[in-house]
């Protein structure tokens, strides 16, 4: 049986957390066991390389790389500044060639090269979003919350809830050649916050935090012009058939490994919604909307067996664990919650010889 380790990123400015907490994962019970903490200044996001050898984390003014040891421990090997403020989100492409950071505070997309040994290289390209938005609470200006390449590696996309737009760039990998080629312009005050692609690269799922919605798009590339083409297929509410409260906001969206289901977290009503996904049409069907026994589920992580989830509850400072009954459409708390100060994100990585 494979061994897994979980890494939870937290804000450290309060002094109650060091930045990354390492947990051993009990895949059968659907629970964590705390091992140790690693110092990272305000780890707002963490992600592993596709081969599981490296862990990358946001830290103040930049990013840091750790080598993942066979037992899941971390060894810091490099760090880089991004010539801007602390990123909100990071992403690694499936070939582990580049690291993409999203600047919420300064509206900046930064792309850094990854060296063959996994350490962080120099900045390849950087772009500031410009424009005026429609949401006064966000200063009516650019705020990038999610950036990642399409799975075919032909384009890089950045969601910006500040200006209600998802920018689409052509990226060659050669410094200074990034170029804006198109954009998905969303409705005013819609706040496009996060997106992901299906594994077959045919569908885009775009999450809006303030309007509590997910748009499903088909994705193709025109043969004659080589340009991206997105066609909206469906819009669903992130709380399923339940009407969201006035202060509700969608916070996160996570696919199961087989792409059959999507879990969506909702702050305000503090719930998780399960959607079933049709592989052929890409359409979503709400299965349930249930409470997560915590406040502000900032991330939902799915256990390797697909039968358990952990809710990362930022405001209540807890991790809550549930078994998922897909047939009966239920969540069953599987173990006691674990306290973690201001947790932001969680990933689980296989380690050891079978990792």
pLDDT band for position 114 (50/70/90)?
Answer: very high
Give pLDDT, residue 192.
96
pLDDT tens per residue, range 27-77: 999 999 999 999 999 999 999 999 999 999 999 999 999 999 999 999 999
Confidence check: pLDDT of 110 > 70: yes
Residues 151-176 pLDDT 10s? 999 999 999 999 999 999 999 888 88
CATH topology of domain 3-351: Methylamine Dehydrogenase; Chain H (2.130.10)
Give the domain ranges of the chain.
3-351
Residue 23 has pLDDT above 80, yes or no: yes
Percent of the chain with pLDDT strictly greater than 90: 89
Q: What is the pLDDT of residues 87-98, one digit of tens each?
A: 999 999 999 999
**Can you give the length of the chain in residues?**
355
Q: In the prediction, which pLDDT does 353 show?
A: 65
The angle formed by the CA atoms of residues 173, 227 and 205, to the nearest 5 degrees, is 90
C-alpha dihedral (192, 194, 198, 204), degrees to nearest 10: 10
Average pLDDT over residues 191-197: 96
pTM value?
A: 0.95
| pLDDT, position 137 | 57
* Average pLDDT of the chain, as a whole number: 94
Quick one: DSSP state of residue 242? S
Nearest CA among 318, 295, 299 for reference residue 309: 299
Cβ atoms of residues 30 and 334 within 8 Å: yes
Taking the alpha carbons at both ends of the chain, their separation in whole angstroms is 10
In the structure encoding, which two tokens stand for residue 25, read together? 């994962």
């Amino acid at each position: 049986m494979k061994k897994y380790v979980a890494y939870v990123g937290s804000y450290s400015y309060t002094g109650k957390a060091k930045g990354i907490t390492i947990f051993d994962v009990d895949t059968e019970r659907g629970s964590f066991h705390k091992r140790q903490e690693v110092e990272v200044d305000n780890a707002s996001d963490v992600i592993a390389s596709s081969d599981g050898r490296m862990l990358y984390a946001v830290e103040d003014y930049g990013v840091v790389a750790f080598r993942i040891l066979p037992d899941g421990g971390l060894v810091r090997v490099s760090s880089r500044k991004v010539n801007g403020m602390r990123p909100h989100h990071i992403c690694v492409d499936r070939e582990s060639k580049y690291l993409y950071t999203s600047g919420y505070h300064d509206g900046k997309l930064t792309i850094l090269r990854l060296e063959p040994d996994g350490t962080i290289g120099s900045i390849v390209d950087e772009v500031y979003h410009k424009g005026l938005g429609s949401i006064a609470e966000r200063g009516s200006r650019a705020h990038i919350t999610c950036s990642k390449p399409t799975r075919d590696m032909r384009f890089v996309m950045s969601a910006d809830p500040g200006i209600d737009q998802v920018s689409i760039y052509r990226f060659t990998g050669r410094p200074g050649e990034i170029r804006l080629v198109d954009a998905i312009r969303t409705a005013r005050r819609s706040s496009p916050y996060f997106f992901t692609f299906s594994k077959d690269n045919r569908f885009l799922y775009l999450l809006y935090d303030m309007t509590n919605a997910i748009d499903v798009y088909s994705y193709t590339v025109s043969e004659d012009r080589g340009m991206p083409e997105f066609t909206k297929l469906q819009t669903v509410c992130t709380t399923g058939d339940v009407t969201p409260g006035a202060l509700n906001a969608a916070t996160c969206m996570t696919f199961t490994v087989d792409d059959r289901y999507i879990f969506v977290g909702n702050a305000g009503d503090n719930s998780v919604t399960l959607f079933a996904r049709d592989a052929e049409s890409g359409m979503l069907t709400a299965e349930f909307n249930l409470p997560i026994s915590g406040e502000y589920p900032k991330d939902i992580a799915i256990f390797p067996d697909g039968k358990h989830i952990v809710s990362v509850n930022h405001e209540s400072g807890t991790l809550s664990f549930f078994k998922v009954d897909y047939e009966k459409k239920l969540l069953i708390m599987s173990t006691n919650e674990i306290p973690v100060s201001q947790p932001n994100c969680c990933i689980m990585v296989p380690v050891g010889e079978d990792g």
